[in-house]
Structure 1
């Protein structure tokens, strides 16, 4: 499978965790992210439906509007 490097924005904590991970763990995370991005772009669901599912999952994992605001306002 041919691969290509892309750049995506993530919060600083996620970036630190990724950078601190072993090479093997980073490769696994890259494969997982690639699969998720592929699913999201090939999905017949609308972007709104995908975003709603992501929102529900984030809330179920404890992400509150206040935490999201804090993450989005980080520089």
Structure 2
């Protein structure tokens, strides 16, 4: 693995810093899968399907995702 830096709004950075390690790992997985689309030249729909499958395999249910997104609001 390699570390990257991305520009986000200050409130997003602060929210990310506050979440627990489990949520951080899930967020990082989602970002990694989205960026993988660029390497694979797959459609967004294909990537979103893969994100869903991998997220579920790692225990990220729609309910947990909704909770993560609600925590960020």
Distance 1:45 1:58 in 2: 18
| Equivalent position of 2:57 in the other structure | 60
Alignment size in residue pairs:
53
| Equivalent position of 2:40 in the other structure | 43
Which structure has the larger Rg over C-alpha atoms?
1
| Equivalent position of 1:7 in the other structure | 7
Where structure 2 has 5 or more consecutive residues not aligned to the other structure, the ranges are 26-31
TM superposition shift of 1:65: 1.2
More helix per residue: 2
RMSD value, Cα:
3.1
The question of whether the paired residues in 1 share the 8 Å contact of 2:37 and 2:47 is answered with yes
Structure 1 runs of 4+ off > 4 angstroms?
8-11
SS of residue paired to 1:73: helix
TM superposition shift of 1:59: 0.3
**Normalising by the residue count of structure 1, what TM-score does the alignment of the two structures yield?**
0.51
